[in-house]
Structure 1
Amino acid sequence: MLIGVVGKTNTGKSTFFAAATLVDAKIAPFPFTTIEPNLGKAYVRSPCPCKELGVKCAPRNSLCENGTRLIPIDLIDVAGLVPDAHLGKGLGLKFLDDLRAADALIQVVDVSGTTDSEGNPTDFYDPANEIIFLEEEMSHWIASIIKRSWSKIKGKGVDSISGLLSGLKMKEEDVKRAATKLFLSTEEINWSNKDILAFSREVRNVSKPILIAANKIDLPSGEKNYESLKEKFKGRIIIPTCAEAELALRRADKQGSIHYVPGDADFKIISSDMPERQLSALNFIKEKVLKKYGGTGVQGLINRAAFDLLNLIVVYPVEDEGKYADHFGNALPDAILLRKGSTAPDLAAKIHTDLAQGFICAINARTRMRVGKEYVLKNCDVLKIVSSTR
């Protein structure tokens, strides 16, 4: 799974990425700091079953912080977007092409309204415009891909568009659903340009859903503009965010100055000789961000993208169902992210294709009961896979 971090230039997008991954992305208060995409690992936060099961876990592919499991997920930060990028403005289609593999998007919006559509400083810019123009640019991008091959697919079935858009990780069922919702012909395509754009909007909405990070919430006008966005875009997930605060907390934790778990609403100061300037900054973060909004928003966005947009669940495979451990005795070593609706054989395939091919059954480690290939996985399941190939 890949989550894309997107937005116009100079919104704090690369700061968000750095805060989520601790990768040293280029960060600067001017447009087009990011040209080449940055790739890194963020973490999905989920309760670890170690305390419930009474074991001391030994994570291998993830982390556990006092009963909170942090599971890695891929994040990509792409070049900033400007209006008419699909026509070649700014970095043009480079931005859009870098998003091909993304399953969901987090749009970082400058909710303070202090940068214009091209990322230049201004007294006031309505952040609602950012949300609108990003969606439109993506829709025009998809439409342009369809139009380039129109002579080849015109008059054919909608499955020809599915093949065309498969490189954008758009599923055949999503393509058909979008066309059907708009009452467009699916047997013999003969759509107008207006139809193509409407279809592109709908299939984007289904295939690349977007969360809104209302970033720079701590600046003047941030809270007011955030409330306005919630009113204008009812039904959308919009989260108050301060990426700079998250980055400061993550770096201070890494340095050993504080103890902070991403997503927590507080932190503990460890260092006894912290510089006054840093202490003052941390107190500001605590009072103006953490206490006010319950967190910096960065971890919340990653979790909402994973669990609400991508419909992921966390499953723990083990080899010894009695000790909830692998064959070395490590308890709950791996946490696996899978889509809701996945079955026990899907988990087996995620571990190794041979396990799936020889799948016999799975054992629910909590109940010690056997489950078959039709068993639909639940969040936080602990399962042993029984296979003829193990």
Structure 2
Amino acid sequence: MTVLELGLVGKPNTGKTTFFNAVTLANAPVAGYPFTTIDANVGVTYVRSKCPCREFNVVCNPQNSKCFNGVRHVPVRIIDVAGLVEGAHMGRGLGNRFLDNLRMAGALIHIVDASGGTDAEGRPCPPGTHDPLQDIDFLEVEIAMWIRGILAKDWPRFARRAKYEKLDLVKEISSRLSGLGVRTAHVAEAFKLAAVDHSDPERWSDDDLLRFVTELRKVSKPIMIAANKSDVPTAESNIERLKSRGYLVVPTCSEAELILRRAAEKGIIDYRPGDS
């Protein structure tokens, strides 16, 4: 069975590793300062889905998931990578290591401090004094620039060869980026969305290339926002602002979820992930 792989991304000190521990019941180190996570933490969590056993009125015995009262818990691999800071695509912070760990992630969960209580570098600041929208903007740029850097290597020679040998540019680009989990369908869709001329890649400007990889990231590694620290009063207005920008936003409180999971693990309470 192929297990979906998700990457947990975000700047340092937003509760990313606490989120990882909460969904996987791991014990990755957590601290209130940047770059607590250096090597990626890898674990398995589960997403809920209606189990076919109820529809067919049978007793199920799943081999690769769990069933609780007709609700199937499907495994998902989670990678918690080092915090991302501006300039990561150029190697700043733990940038290169961070980005390489995301290569095969099919989607990304961006852990954002919705309270606005950590600055751009991940240092604590008074809640409400930092704009979490800035964190989203810079992270999307960093990932796009990372993909651009891979594709731009030998681009003039590649573009010239593709043009004069009349190569299928969609297949050629998907082949070059296959190590990132990029498929042919992703590239074809990105061409449509970016509205670039794929008949003559030699004429592409830097802006054309950046526009293309920006759309390619959206279709090959979509991002959802986990608006963490949603229990802090300053988070509510920021969450509404995030939603108004069209993002898929889920308010979260990683610390509270972790407490519930640990209590359930010890038999203190009856709680399963996703219960409300």
**TM-score, normalization: structure 2?**
0.91
What is the 5 A alignment of 1:259-338? 259-265=270-276
Q: Taking structure 1 as reference, are residues 52 and 178 closer, same or farther at Cα in structure 2, changes over 3 Å only?
A: closer
CA contact (8 A) 1:104 1:210 kept: yes
Give how far 1:54 is off. Answer: 3.3
| Structure 2 SS opposite 1:258 | coil
| Structure 1 SS opposite 2:272 | coil
Structure 2: which amino acid aligns with 1:87? M
Residue 118 (structure 1) aligns with: 121
Q: Supply the distance in 2 between the matched residues of 1:19 and 1:83 (Cα, whole angstroms).
A: 27
Residue 225 (structure 1) aligns with: 238
Which residue of the other structure, out of 26, 31, 34, is the alignment partner of 1:31? 34
Task: Determine what percentage of the aligned residue pairs are the same residue.
Answer: 50
Residue 224 (structure 2) aligns with: 211
Q: Supply the distance in 1 between the matched residues of 2:71 and 2:185 (Cα, whole angstroms).
A: 35
Which residue of the other structure, out of 190, 214, 224, is the alignment partner of 1:178? 190
Structure 2: which amino acid aligns with 1:161? I
Q: Supply the distance in 2 between the matched residues of 1:13 and 1:222 (Cα, whole angstroms).
A: 16
Give how far 1:226 is off. Answer: 1.0
Give how far 1:89 is off. Answer: 1.4
Q: Supply the distance in 2 between the matched residues of 1:205 and 1:254 (Cα, whole angstroms).
A: 37
Normalized per residue, the structure richer in helix is: 2
Give how far 1:187 is off. Answer: 2.9
Q: Which of 160-169 and 97-106 deviates more?
A: 160-169
Q: Supply the distance in 1 between the matched residues of 2:120 and 2:34 (Cα, whole angstroms).
A: 10
Give how far 1:120 is off. Answer: 0.2
Residue 320 (structure 1) aligns with: none
Q: Supply the distance in 1 between the matched residues of 2:158 and 2:185 (Cα, whole angstroms).
A: 18
1:106 aligns with 2:106: no
1:10 aligns with 2:13: yes
Q: Supply the distance in 2 between the matched residues of 1:48 and 1:175 (Cα, whole angstroms).
A: 34
Structure 1 runs not aligned, ≥5 long: 266-390
**Shift >6 Å, 4+ stretches:** none
Structure 1, residues 18-53: CA drift from partner, whole Å, max 9, x if none? 111112111111111111111111101012233343
Structure 1: which amino acid aligns with 2:69? N
Residue 158 (structure 2) aligns with: 153
Q: Taking structure 1 as reference, are residues 54 and 146 closer, same or farther at Cα in structure 2, changes over 3 Å only?
A: closer
Q: Supply the distance in 1 between the matched residues of 2:102 and 2:157 (Cα, whole angstroms).
A: 25
Q: Taking structure 1 as reference, are residues 141 and 260 closer, same or farther at Cα in structure 2, changes over 3 Å only?
A: same
Residue 242 (structure 1) aligns with: 253
Give the total of aligned pairs.
263
Residue 138 (structure 1) aligns with: 143
CA contact (8 A) 1:7 1:108 kept: yes
Q: Supply the distance in 2 between the matched residues of 1:59 and 1:206 (Cα, whole angstroms).
A: 31
Q: Supply the distance in 2 between the matched residues of 1:62 and 1:173 (Cα, whole angstroms).
A: 29
1:257 aligns with 2:268: yes
Q: Taking structure 1 as reference, are residues 162 and 52 closer, same or farther at Cα in structure 2, changes over 3 Å only?
A: closer
Q: Which of 107-116 and 157-166 deviates more?
A: 157-166
Give how far 1:164 is off. Answer: 1.3
What is the 5 A alignment of 1:187-198? 187-190=199-202, 191-198=204-211
| Structure 1 SS opposite 2:157 | helix
What is the 5 A alignment of 1:75-90? 75-90=78-93
Q: Supply the distance in 1 between the matched residues of 2:175 and 2:97 (Cα, whole angstroms).
A: 22
**TM-score, normalization: structure 1?**
0.65
Structure 1, residues 97-119: CA drift from partner, whole Å, max 9, x if none? 11001000110000010001110
Q: Supply the distance in 2 between the matched residues of 1:183 and 1:227 (Cα, whole angstroms).
A: 31
Q: Supply the distance in 2 between the matched residues of 1:25 and 1:101 (Cα, whole angstroms).
A: 21
Give how far 1:57 is off. Answer: 3.0
Structure 2: which amino acid aligns with 1:203? L
Q: Which has the higher contact order (CA 8 A, sep 6+)?
A: 2
CA contact (8 A) 1:65 1:261 kept: no
CA contact (8 A) 1:16 1:244 kept: yes
Structure 2 runs not aligned, ≥5 long: none
Give how far 1:150 is off. Answer: 1.2
| Structure 2 SS opposite 1:43 | strand
